[in-house]
Amino acid sequence: MNILPMQSSLRLSNPAFALLFTLVYAILLGWLMQFHELWFDETVPWLLALYSDSYTELLYNKRYEGHPNLWYSILFLITRFTKSLWTLQATQFVFAVGFVFIFLRFAPYHFLLRLLFCFGYFGLFEYGMISRLYALELFAIFSLCALYPKRFEHWWLYMVVLGVTAHIHLFGFMFSGALGLLLFSEAFFLEQGTPQKCMLSRKKKWAGLAFWAFACALSFWSMVRPEELTAVNPERVLGYTTGQAFTLPSRAFFPIPKFQLHFWDTTLIRVRYAIPFSICLILILIFCFRSVTRLLLTLLLLFTGLFVFFIFKYDGYMRHHAHFFVFALALGWIMFHYRSLPTYKIGAFKKLQALLFLATFIQVPIGVFAVYQDVKHMFLPAKSVAEYLKKNTPENSILVTNHEVRASTVVAYLGHPVINLSNLKPSSFFTPGVSEKSILTPLQALNALRALGQKERRPIILISYSKLNLESYPYPIQHIISFDGNYILPNTSMYLYQVNYLPLP
């Protein structure tokens, strides 16, 4: 690839390109989002924000989430004005369109590579259609990259964005930490490649360092869950081999799924091929970044952080593993701004761009497949269950569930809590780790359902996530309807049962 088109696009004298394709992306994403059914990882932050009466209560309720506070704080602010679930997707839409515009407008890559990323698997599907905090994270990371050439000139703006990035997600915290270390090593020690640092007084440097350190410390504190330090299971570490971890970079760059209904978070790349492929990718990246030592060290620090997290803490899914690719993409963007270094080699950037071009070229048809599946098939039946309940349940009936975790999505679509059978309390959101322990067996659910019907003396509707054996149960409980079709998420079928009040003999 010729680097001249990159230099031309970097001058940004014609913003029409970015505006035009951002508009195309916005129209396409807005149309596609209507077909996506939200699932519980998407709705639980919304429910936590909606059913927390104060901000301090929100911070307490989210203590098991393992994420910083920013995404929840944004949703808390929105839910003070509206309870409409569509605003969750609207918020996701704003940040997705935002990161696409920044990438198209400011990234130094060839215009085709930029388009491929934005309209590929990660840009359009994983971080576009699905309403999680990752679009906000990419918006912040790309903002840091866009501001990077002016980081010393716009010191406090860069500090604020660096702090905000740390408060979105653990991976945003990693990126903020790595870029902060790079920034302050340049500000205090390195001379070459940092001509603007002379603008900073010593007082300003130390104030910025204190601000960044405080922001990172606060983010870390907000992520630590109760008893977090005891949560590392030695048996898990032994069972999760280093070999498994080394499959992840290849799957991040080339997220080729099994082409089936349950495609999400699957891979066609077998372990025996993925490991050497990942090692080759890492070696290529080292070769590309070797001419800018400070960025090579930053890349290795970030990749080490990812490996440590996946080995010791959490296996993760594609949305997590993708950060091997996202970090390489962002640091490649930053590397382009070190052209003044005597060690800088233009050929290295061109090789990196070729690798990223190959990855994004493959990601586009995968994205098309994922979007097609999401449009054609339901993600899960929660929305259909909620619509059925709104239209067909008696006004005096009580809605209950035997699985608080999965019922949370139905609660989001219903717009009001349901009763959790395990404790007979209103359930609006689930608490990770706690809610899973309180799931009733089918027989326990049937007995609790009958007892509640006798107590309340009105119809009880059960939202069940397992098919109950009513033939062997001696009391009359009616099966209403089953939602057990073909869904993208496996094992998410739902069944509705009703018990009517019968006087005890």
The CA-CA-CA angle for residues 102, 106, 109, to 5°, reads 115
Average pLDDT over residues 223-228: 79
**Cα distance between residue 312 and residue 349, in whole Å:** 33
Q: Return the half-sphere exposure (C-beta side, CA atoms, 13 A cut-off) of residue 108.
A: 25
463 close to 385: Cβ distance less than 8 angstroms: yes
User: Nearest to residue 164, comparing CAs of 139, 183, 198, 186?
Assistant: 139
Which tens digits make up the pLDDT trace of 344-383? 887 899 999 999 999 999 999 999 999 999 999 999 999 9
Residues 77, 45 contacting (CB under 8 angstroms): no
* More confident site: 139 or 424: 139
**Beta pairing class for 398-401 and 460-464:** parallel
Q: Show the tokens assigned to 452.
A: 């509640």
Query: Which of 139, 161, 163 minimizes the C-alpha distance to 150?
Result: 161
**pLDDT, averaged across the chain:** 88
User: Whole-model pTM?
Assistant: 0.92
Q: How far apart are the first and last CA of the chain?
A: 84
Domain ranges of the chain: 4-376, 382-499
For residue 253, the tally of other CB atoms under 10 A from its CB is: 24
Handedness of CA 5, 7, 11, 15 (dihedral sign): positive
Q: What HEC string does 231-296 produce?
A: CCCHHHHHHCCHHHHCCHHHHHHCCCCCCCCCCCCCCCCCHHHHHHHHHHHHHHHHHHHCCCHHHH
Q: In whole angstroms, what is the distance from residue 102 CA to residue 6 CA?
A: 16
Query: Which two three-digit tokens encode residue 405?
Result: 């975790």
Polymer length of the chain:
505
Both tokens of residue 389?
């309940």
On the question of pLDDT at 10 being above 70, the answer is no
Mean pLDDT of 256-281: 94
How many other CB atoms are found less than 10 A from the CB of residue 343?
12
Report the candidate in 220, 293, 280 with the shortest Cα–Cα distance to residue 254: 280
pLDDT at 220 over 50: yes
DSSP strand pairing (478-483 vs 418-420): unpaired
The number of beta carbons lying within 10 Å of the beta carbon of residue 84 is: 11
What percentage of the chain exceeds 70 in pLDDT?
A: 90
69, pLDDT greater than 80 = yes
Phi first, then psi: give them for residue 306, nearest 5 degrees. -65, -45
What is the per-residue pLDDT for 7? 44
Q: What is the pLDDT of residues 154-213, one digit of tens each?
A: 999 999 999 999 999 999 999 999 999 999 999 988 766 666 666 788 899 999 999 999
Of residues 257 and 426, more confidence is placed in: 257
And the tokens for 456?
A: 């309340």
Q: Which residues pair with 498 in a beta bridge?
A: 461, 478
The predicted-structure confidence for 39-65, as pLDDT tens digits, reads as follows: 989 999 999 999 999 999 999 999 989
Token duo for residue 376: 């054609």
More confident residue, 209 or 10: 209
Which of 495, 499, 423, 422 shows the shortest CA–CA distance to 460? 499
461, containing H or E segment: strand 460-464
State residue 471's pLDDT score.
Answer: 80
- Mean pLDDT, rounded, for 316-341: 94
Phi, psi of 62 (to 5 degrees): -95, 15
What is the C-alpha to C-alpha distance for residues 501 and 56, in angstroms, rounded to an integer?
41
Tell me the C-alpha distance between 146 and 12, whole Å.
Answer: 12
Between CA 250 and CA 269 the distance in angstroms is 8
Give the pLDDT mean for 223-244.
65
Pairing of strands 398-401, 425-427: unpaired
Average pLDDT over residues 397-423: 88
Q: Which residues contact 84 (CB under 8 A, 6 or more apart)?
A: none
**Matching residue, tokens 């799931």:** 439
* φ/ψ bin of 74: left (φ > 0), alpha (ψ from -120 to 50), beta (otherwise): alpha
Orientation of helix 86-106 relative to helix 111-118, angle to 10°: 170
Q: What average pLDDT does the segment 272-277 reach?
A: 93
